Each structure stands twice: as structure tokens, then as C-alpha cells.
């Protein structure tokens, strides 16, 4: 009987330890009492041990007296006690009792429209705004991957992240293993590299990583990213990992670590673990210690969740009149300001309408929330206005971001075809979304928008002929061609300077009056292989008598 009692005590404890070892390795949970998942796993293992002990008693034909049934009761009562504690903690940690804790996870700096002019990217910095969405970036990335015949059969495209790279905004995504068998075939050499997409120029390229990427979410066993990092930080609560690169192009994974404003739930990032994707070396940083090239500690999804709980409980939980409640719109965009990535989203009232009260810009590394009071059109209204301007093409608008056009708050977005390829650019006035400009080039779109503002009488400090942006050239036409491109007539002009210029006929019907031999003065923004014309005028050299 004594040996039986020892077995009834020792075997369940051994099973408990074995279960936790397996769970810890397979599921990689944090050993952290602030996480509901930890409590659920703990209660489940107690239930399994209670059942196992009972089955042991049945196996040994043990009588059901108090002394022999005690081990099973201990595990059963332990599971029940933990469940009661868990439910109580969930209740007292809920917004019903902790609305202040949910509200005060963030501090919102309120700013006015004058601060907008100082903080928001200007016309010259519009290239630092990510106009391309993830869907379009994925299309470009897939094309690049398709050209790598030795890679495409073994690897797939991973998830894209928006980062700042040497002052420019970029989208980056690692390749990932297709399945377990492909990991087995390539685990020695690792993932060969990542795809880098420029959302401004629509250029995509594959970047090979010396030594390969060995630690990734798509890897298995000890090379699995979360398992590798969990073994080093067993008690840290993790956020969603993102793939990033430093200024030299070296790959790493950034995993936000969370703290909690209540006993359970109510998380907010308090730092991050940076894991070298090649060597697996990990280092923890507080938010204040993170290097500048580390972005997206605060993801767009978390920014929305943090602000929505702040806006919802601004006047407490029992705010039945819903006084002062605000919320984010259901999407977000990215801006590059200096060396930081900022997440943008509009702020609207709890009532469903088509206007914003203002918008927030959030530093994705530090979590600094800036709220700009500025009533205007809600983003989806602006998107509809932009798409409506070219409704005959059936294009759809991407979620917009903000730009400062000489002090005028403006939505900027791209228009895409059914294949998610960027076809045009659009600018929509924030305060009056009937003021819309579209064009095939961003430079011409800006010019059209400035003219629209002047015509609407809301131009403010707009300077249509911005001499810092526009360049001029005098030339004699040696050839002129009218070419149909995707249903649009584009006029191509060759000058005696051996350069080629183009402009959409729909943007300037006066192009029909040009002939070979005419001398013209063209104005343009950027000198590319084929130069896009901003405007032109005929002229004749002064003849000397």
C-alpha cells in the first residue's frame, strides 16, 4: 500500500513535468501569469494529471477510501481552484473595473493644424510616403521570385514589413520554406535572402544573404524563430515578430516584448528582442535603447487597438451617453519622417459618418502618439472620390496617407487596376474631398492639384510654378508619335537634344497642334530616360537684324 501511495503521488508529478516540457518545446508559451494562455495550459495539465491519477487507481483496483483517493482529489481541486482564480482575475482585469488602465496605456499629445504644417512631410518629401500597399508589393515580389529558377521551387514569399532604410521608406519580405521537406533539403544552407521593394519607384530586387537565413518562423525544431528566442527568454511575453534589415542590409527579426497594465491582458510594448536571422544571436533592448534602424515595435494593428481602447474609455466604462468616444478608421498607412517610420490613421467619432475629427501619427519605434485636430473627409470618402475621377477605367484606390502641399492637408494615394498594378496617382483635399487631382505621374498630379486648389479658391500658400521643383528645356521637335498605352493616348516627342519627352494627351489636348520642326519650351520635374512633361509653350528664337 505504501508503494502504491508513492506511485499515485510521484507518477502524476512526473507526468506534469513531462507535459510542461513537451508543451514548452512545441507551443513555446511564456511562463508569465499575466497571459491568459499560461493559465489555460496550467489548468489543462492539472485536469490531465487528475484524470491520470484516477486511472492509476482503477488500474491497481484501489478502493475508493479517503486516503487512496486524496492524490486524485488534490489534482482535481487544484484544477478547479486555478480555474476560479483565473476567472476572478479575468473579471477584475476587465475594462469593467480597469477602464483607467486601458485608457492610460498611451499618452496622446494633442496638436493643432499649425503643428501639422511643421510635422507632416511636404511636397518635396512625398517620396518618403509608402503609397504602395502590401498587395501591390507582393505582386512585384512574386515577379522577382519567379525569375529565380533555382529558388522558386524551394521557397515562398514571406510577409512584408514597411521599414526605413537610409532615409527612404521600403518594404521588405524574407523568403520562407515551402514545407517541412523543403526545410530538410535546405536547412544546412538556410533561406538564401529577401526581397526589397521600393514603394515609390515600384522597383523590386532580390538580396542574397551571405551565410543564409537560418532562424525563421517557417523553420523547424531549434531553428524555429519563436522556439529559439523562447528558450533564451522563457518569461517574456512576445508580440508579433517582423523581419527587418539594418542600414547595411543585414537581416534580423524584431520581436516586441510586452508589459501589462492589469493582472491579465491590457498589454503594451516595453522593449524588443533583436535576433540575428543568420547567427541566431539575440539581444534585448528597452524602447529607449533600440537602434534607429529598428522599426515596427508598435505595429499598425496594435496602434489601432491602443488608441481605440483609449478613445472608448476616455470617460470611463459607464459612459452610457458615449460622450467624447473616438476611434480609428479601420486601416492605416506609413510615413517616413527623418529616420523613423510613423503609422497614420484617421480619428472619427463613435457615430458612423463620413468625416474625421483629426488623425494620429504614431512613432512605430517609440510609441509616441500625436493627435492632430483637423476636421475633414474620412479616408474611404477620399478613396471613393479619387476612384470616381477615373471611374471609366475601373481603378480602385489604395488607403491614403497624408502630405503637406504648401500648408494644405492632402490625402495622397495610388489607383490600381484589377491586377493590383499601380496605374495612376491621386491627391484629394482633406477638408473638401470634391477637390481631386489624378495623373499618371506623381509630379503631374501635384501640379494638377495645385491648379485645382487655385480654381477652388482654397490655395493658401500654393505656388503653382514652384521654381525649386520645375526644370525647363528649349528644343526643336525632330519626331512626334501618338501611342496608345492601356487605353490612354501618350504623346512622345523627340527633340534635337536627343532626349525624349512624353505627356498624356488627356492632360493637355494642345499637344495636337505640335508638328515636327516646331520649337518649344518644355517644363518638367525629373529628368528620367523618358521625361514627363509638366507643361510646354511654343517659342521662336529672336532673329537678329
Question: What does the pLDDT average to over 83-106?
Answer: 96
How far apart CA 161 and CA 111 sit, in angstroms, is 28
* Phi, psi for residue 157 in degrees, rounded to 5: -80, 135
- Output DSSP code: residue 430: S
Q: What pLDDT was estimated at residue 545?
A: 43
3-state secondary structure of 241: coil
3-state secondary structure of 335: strand
Report the share of the chain in percent with pLDDT over 70: 90
Radius of gyration of the chain (CA): 30
Higher local confidence (pLDDT), 369 or 378? 369
Which residues are 436's β-sheet partners?
428
Residue 127 has pLDDT above 70, yes or no: no
Query: What is the tens place of the pLDDT at every residue in 446-487?
Result: 888 887 887 666 655 555 455 445 678 899 999 999 998 766
Angle at 530 between CA 526 and CA 536, to 5 degrees: 70
Q: What pLDDT was estimated at residue 228?
A: 98
Cβ pair 181, 153 in contact under 8 A: no
Q: What pLDDT was estimated at residue 133?
A: 80
Residue 68 has pLDDT above 60, yes or no: no
Q: Which residues contact 47 (CB under 8 A, 6 or more apart)?
A: 75, 76, 79
3-state secondary structure of 478: strand
Angle at 255 between CA 43 and CA 370, to 5 degrees: 110
- Output DSSP code: residue 75: H
How far apart CA 449 and CA 446 sit, in angstroms, is 5
Supply the mean pLDDT for the chain: 88
3-state secondary structure of 166: coil
Q: Would you state the cell numbers that stand for residue 453, as one nine-digit string?
A: 486648389
Residue 312 has pLDDT above 90, yes or no: yes
Residue 528 has pLDDT above 70, yes or no: no
3-state secondary structure of 422: strand
If we measure between CA atoms, which residue out of 484, 483, 485 comes closest to residue 493?
A: 483
Place 520 in a pLDDT band, splitting at 50, 70 and 90.
very high
3-state secondary structure of 179: coil
- For β-strands 282-286 and 267-276, DSSP reports them as antiparallel
Distances (CA, A) of 288 to 20, 317, 366: 35, 32, 7
- Classify each residue of 34-63 as buried b or exposed e, where b means 16 or more C-beta atoms within 10 Å of its C-beta: bbeebbebbbebbbbbbebbbebbeeeebe
Q: Would you state the cell numbers that stand for residue 282, as one nine-digit string?
A: 539575440
- Output DSSP code: residue 63: -
Does pTM surpass 0.85?
A: no
Return left, alpha or beta for 410; rule: phi > 0 is left, psi -120 to 50 is alpha, else beta: beta
Angle at which helices 95-103 and 300-312 pack, to 10 degrees? 120
How far apart CA 200 and CA 164 sit, in angstroms, is 13
How far apart CA 268 and CA 287 sit, in angstroms, is 12
Count Cβ atoms below 10 Å from residue 392 Cβ, excluding itself. Answer: 7
Cβ pair 68, 8 in contact under 8 A: yes
Q: Which range scores top for mean pLDDT: 255-259, 318-322, 480-484, 511-515? A: 255-259
Question: What does the pLDDT average to over 81-89?
Answer: 97
* Phi, psi for residue 220 in degrees, rounded to 5: -125, 165
3-state secondary structure of 296: coil
Q: Would you state the cell numbers that stand for residue 110, as one nine-digit string?
A: 494633442
Residue with cell 477637390: 435
* Beta strands, E only, 261-304: 267-276, 282-286
Cβ pair 425, 414 in contact under 8 A: yes
Query: What is the tens place of the pLDDT at every residue in 380-392?
Result: 999 999 999 998 8
Amino acid at each position: 500500500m505504501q508503494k502504491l501511495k508513492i506511485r499515485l503521488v510521484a507518477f502524476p508529478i512526473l507526468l506534469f513535468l513531462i507535459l510542461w516540457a513537451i508543451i514548452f518545446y512545441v507551443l513555446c508559451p511564456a511562463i508569465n501569469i499575466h497571459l491568459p494562455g499560461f493559465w489555460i495550459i496550467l489548468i489543462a495539465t492539472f485536469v490531465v494529471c487528475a484524470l491520470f491519477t484516477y486511472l492509476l487507481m482503477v488500474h491497481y483496483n484501489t478502493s475508493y477510501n479517503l486516503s487512496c483517493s486524496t492524490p486524485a482529489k488534490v489534482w482535481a481541486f487544484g484544477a478547479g481552484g486555478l480555474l476560479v482564480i483565473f476567472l476572478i482575475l479575468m473579471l477584475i482585469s476587465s475594462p469593467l473595473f480597469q477602464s483607467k488602465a486601458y485608457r492610460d496605456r498611451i499618452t496622446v499629445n494633442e496638436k493643432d493644424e499649425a503643428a501639422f504644417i511643421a510635422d507632416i512631410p511636404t511636397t518635396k518629401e512625398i517620396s518618403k510616403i509608402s503609397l504602395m500597399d502590401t498587395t501591390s508589393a507582393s505582386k512585384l515580389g512574386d515577379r522577382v521570385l519567379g525569375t529565380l529558377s533555382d529558388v522558386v521551387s524551394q521557397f515562398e514569399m514571406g510577409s512584408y514589413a514597411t521599414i526605413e532604410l537610409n532615409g527612404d521608406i521600403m518594404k521588405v519580405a524574407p523568403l520562407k520554406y515551402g514545407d517541412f521537406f523543403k526545410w530538410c533539403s535546405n536547412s544546412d544552407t538556410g533561406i538564401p535572402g529577401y526581397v526589397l521593394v521600393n514603394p515609390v519607384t515600384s522597383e523590386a530586387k532580390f538580396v542574397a544573404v551571405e551565410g543564409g537565413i537560418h532562424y525563421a518562423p517557417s523553420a523547424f525544431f531549434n531553428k524555429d524563430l519563436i522556439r529559439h528566442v523562447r528558450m533564451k527568454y522563457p518569461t517574456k511575453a512576445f508580440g508579433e515578430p517582423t523581419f527587418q534589415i539594418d542600414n547595411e542590409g543585414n537581416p534580423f527579426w524584431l520581436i516586441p516584448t510586452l508589459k501589462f497594465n492589469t493582472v491579465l491582458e491590457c498589454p503594451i510594448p516595453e522593449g524588443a528582442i533583436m535576433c540575428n536571422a543568420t547567427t541566431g544571436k539575440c539581444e534585448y533592448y528597452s524602447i529607449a535603447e533600440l537602434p534607429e534602424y529598428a522599426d515596427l515595435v508598435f505595429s499598425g494593428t496594435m496602434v489601432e487597438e491602443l488608441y481605440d481602447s483609449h478613445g472608448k474609455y476616455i470617460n470611463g466604462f459607464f459612459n452610457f451617453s458615449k460622450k467624447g468616444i473616438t476611434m480609428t478608421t479601420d486601416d492605416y498607412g506609413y510615413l517616413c519622417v527623418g529616420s523613423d517610420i510613423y503609422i497614420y490613421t484617421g480619428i472619427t467619432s463613435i457615430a458612423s459618418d463620413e468625416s474625421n475629427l483629426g488623425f494620429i501619427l504614431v512613432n512605430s519605434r517609440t510609441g509616441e502618439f500625436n493627435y492632430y485636430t483637423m476636421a475633414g473627409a474620412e479616408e474611404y470618402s477620399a478613396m471613393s472620390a479619387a476612384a470616381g475621377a477615373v471611374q471609366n477605367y475601373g481603378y480602385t484606390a489604395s488607403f491614403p496617407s497624408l502630405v503637406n502641399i504648401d500648408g494644405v492637408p492632402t490625402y495622397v494615394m495610388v489607383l490600381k487596376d484589377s491586377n493590383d498594378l499601380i496605374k495612376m496617382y491621386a491627391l484629394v483635399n482633406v477638408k473638401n474631398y470634391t477637390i481631386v487631382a489624378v495623373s499618371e505621374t506623381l509630379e503631374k498630379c501635384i501640379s494638377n492639384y495645385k491648379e485645382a486648389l487655385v480654381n477652388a479658391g482654397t490655395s493658401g500658400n500654393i505656388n503653382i510654378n514652384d521654381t525649386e521643383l520645375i526644370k525647363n528645356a528649349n528644343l526643336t521637335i525632330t519626331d512626334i508619335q501618338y501611342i496608345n498605352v492601356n487605353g490612354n493616348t501618350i504623346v512622345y516627342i523627340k527633340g534635337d537634344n536627343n532626349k525624349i519627352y512624353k505627356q498624356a494627351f488627356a492632360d493637355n489636348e494642345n499637344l495636337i497642334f505640335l508638328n515636327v520642326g516646331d520649337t518649344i519650351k518644355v517644363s518638367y520635374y525629373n529628368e528620367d530616360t523618358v521625361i514627363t512633361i509638366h507643361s510646354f509653350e511654343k517659342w521662336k528664337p529672336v532673329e537678329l537684324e
